[in-house]
Amino acid sequence: MENSKVKICSKCKTAYPPTREYFAPDKTARDGLKYQCRICHRKQQKTINDRHRNDPAYKERKREYDRQYRLKPERKNRRRELARNRGKQYRAKSGYREKRRKYNKLNPDLTKTAFSRRQARKRGLPINFSAADWKAALRHFNNRCAVCGRSSGTEVTLAADHWIPLSSPSCPGTVPTNIVPLCHGKNGCNNQKFNRDATEWLVEKAGYRTATQIIARIEEYFASLKA
C-alpha cells in the first residue's frame, strides 16, 4: 500500500486507510479526520469518562452546566422546534383535521371516553369561574392574548385557558386565579400550550428572559384577584 493511501494513527502509529471506518470525522483537521484511530480514540474517551465519573468536583461542575443550559432552552430545543414545525407542515398538507374528524366519527366511543376523562377531572376540582370573571380577565389584558398580545380576529379567537392545566396534580381548578385569555386558532398560544406546564412551554416558546416577564405579568394579575 502506498504512503499516500494510508493514514498513521498518532497514538498507536498503526497505518490505516484514510476513511471514516478507521478514523472519526473532525472538521478542524486538514483531511477531515481525527489524528487518532477510532480504537485509540475510544480508549482515550473511556479513560476520561472513568476519571470524571469518580470526580465529585466534575459532577458538581456538570450539574451547574446543565442547570445553566436549561435556562437557555432555545439552543437545547432547536431540534424539537424543527420537528414540531415539520409536524405542522405535514398536518397542513395531509388534511390532518379532516382525517381527525373522520376518525372521531368512526370511533365515537374513544372520543367520548377522552371527553369524559376531561370532564371528570373538571368535576373533581373547584369550578367558580363566571362570565363576569371572564369579562374582568379580558378587560385586564385589553382584550388580547395574555402571552403574545394578539386580539381576536378572523384566524384566532380568545379562549379561557387553565394556566395550570387540568391534568396537573397542582391544578386549583376552573377558578379566576387560574384562567387567562389565550389566542386559539392558527398558531394560537392555546393550541401550542395544550396541557403542558406553562413555565416550561413559555421558556421554550419565547426564551427565558421574555418568559419571565410574561409570567410576572400573569402572576401580578392573579395576585390582584386575591387582594
Q: Are 112 and 103 in contact (CB under 8 A)?
A: no
Identify the pLDDT of residue 3. 47
> Which has more pLDDT, 134 or 113?
134
Mean pLDDT of 206-212: 91
Counting residues of the chain whose pLDDT is more than 70, the rounded percentage is 89
Identify the pLDDT of residue 224. 92
pLDDT in tens, 64-117: 887 777 666 666 667 677 788 888 888 777 777 788 888 878 877 677 666 656
- Give me the DSSP letters along 130-168: -HHHHHHHHHHTTTB-TTT-PBP-SSEEEEEEESS-TTS
Q: Is the pLDDT of residue 215 over 90?
A: yes
CB neighbourhood size of 67 (10 A): 9
CA 119 to chain centre: 26
Q: Are 125 and 169 in contact (CB under 8 A)?
A: no
- Give me the DSSP letters along the chain: --GGG-EE-TTT--EE-SSTTTS-B-TTSTTSB-SS-HHHHHHHHHHHHHHHHT-HHHHHHHHHHHHHHHT-HHHHTHHHHHHHHHHHHHHHHTTHHHHHHHHHHH-HHHHHHHHHHHHHHHHTS-B---HHHHHHHHHHTTTB-TTT-PBP-SSEEEEEEESS-TTSTT---B-GGGEEEEEEETT-HHHHHTTS-HHHHHHHHH-HHHHHHHHHHHHHHHHHHH-
pLDDT in tens, 24-49: 998 888 888 999 999 999 998 888 88
Identify the pLDDT of residue 62. 81
Identify the pLDDT of residue 1. 40
Residue 223: pLDDT band (50, 70, 90) is very high
Mean pLDDT of 142-151: 92
> Which has more pLDDT, 191 or 119?
191
Residue 181: pLDDT band (50, 70, 90) is very high
Q: Judging by beta carbons within 10 Å of its beta carbon (0-12, 13-18, 19+), is residue 217 exposed, middle or buried? A: middle
> Which has more pLDDT, 141 or 227?
141
| 118: its cell numbers | 376531561
- For all residues of the chain together, what is the average pLDDT? 84
Q: Of 29, 42, 34, give the one whose Cα is nearest residue 16.
A: 34
Identify the pLDDT of residue 180. 94
